[in-house]
A = this chain, B = another copy of it.
Amino acid sequence: MSIASREVHLIARPTGMPREEEFAIVEQVVPDAADWEIQVKNVYLSVDPAMRPRLSVGQPLNEPLAGYAIGRVEQSRHPSFKEGDLVQNWSSFREYFVSSGSDVSKLDVDPALPASVYLHALGGSGFVAYGGLLEIGKLQDGEQVFVSTAAGSVGSVAVQIAKMKGCYVIGSTGSDEKCRWLKDVLGIDAVINYKTETIRTALKEKAPNGIDVYFDNVGGDHLNAALPRMNLLGRIPVCGMISAYNTPGSISAPVTTLSNIIYKRVTLRGFVGTDFMHLREQFAADMTAWLKDGRVKYRETFYDGIENAPKALIGMLNGANTGKMLVRLSG
């Protein structure tokens, strides 16, 4: 039956760090599923750094915020779906929606794993870590690896893949608690708390053999510090530049060390998951196995209720999460 559904709208464009008043929670009535349709109730919304640039360019005002979600089919008048099926979708931040089925994909959750991991370690975050390191970064066994935002949903997977490949791994993160998790649980070789240490000085000490692959999620000061430490023919897969997302015009902290790119013949490459879709099946098989046998560990931070989605997004941009930031919807 038709149902009241709340959704998150962007109502004003942020110029720096987004503020709660730039979002509104709007109620809509979602109709019943017609023939060849399904009605879906979202269960988890995925809160991602890449959402921030879209708030400046791309996300229409006064419409639901674009984002990934996992939902459950509540009504089905479509032969490919039955009630209770879980579906991954790009339905935007709303509680309910109706779909023809073409914009959702059925999710077969491994019984040993929670559905939420399909939004991070087994989803886009894990996939960009996997392909970014192996395909874009051409990571070799035993190399020297630096990962920024190492305790985040992408970084923590990158750290663990590099450790499995016998690499020496240095990570940066923003709290002592996250540093401890990286050391004690993920077995990282060295950590830098970028809020209390100078990255450039710390890297000199903690990357004594230089850096072969810098998995960059941050840009700006992190990139500026990493470049002088790069080894010959080093690779910098650029997965994100979160340091620039909240500045007008996406201007980053000044990078003045780029001449190392020529001295060390370094490759810097921005990428997204669609750059290596041929790895999708191999990734799913590998990551499912790694999660099940505990070789890849993860953490999740949940904010409950769609009314807290703006808080979750702002919190994630401020590093309030450990591991993946998710909004959990009741029911």
Distance from A227 Cβ to chain B, minimum over Cβ atoms (Å): 10
In the complex the two chains form, is B241's CB within 8 Å of A251's CB? no
A250 touching B244 in the complex, CB below 8 Å, given contacts A264-B270, A266-B270:
no
In the complex the two chains form, is B271's CB within 8 Å of A265's CB? yes
Q: CA of A134 to CA of B294 in the docked complex: distance in angstroms?
A: 45
Determine how many copies of this chain the complex contains.
2
Q: CA of A239 to CA of B262 in the docked complex: distance in angstroms?
A: 7
How many residues of A are counted as interface, with CB atoms below 8 angstroms from the partner's CB atoms?
Answer: 34
A275 cross-chain contacts in B, Cβ below 8 A: 265
* Contact stretch, chosen from A73-81, A108-116, A144-152, A253-261: A253-261
| Nearest B-chain residue to A257, judged by Cβ | B251
Q: CA of A269 to CA of B262 in the docked complex: distance in angstroms?
A: 8
Distance from A152 Cβ to chain B, minimum over Cβ atoms (Å): 15
Distance from A79 Cβ to chain B, minimum over Cβ atoms (Å): 38
A71 at the interface (CB under 8 A from B): no
A124 at the interface (CB under 8 A from B): no
A250 cross-chain contacts in B, Cβ below 8 A: 257, 259-260, 263
9 cross-chain pairs, A with B, having the tightest CB-CB distances, nearest first: A254-B254, A261-B270, A244-B259, A262-B270, A250-B259, A268-B268, A267-B269, A241-B259, A255-B255
| 12 pairs of residues in contact across A and B, judged by CB atoms under 8 Å | A53-B263, A238-B262, A240-B262, A241-B261, A244-B258, A251-B257, A253-B256, A260-B270, A265-B269, A265-B271, A267-B268, A268-B269
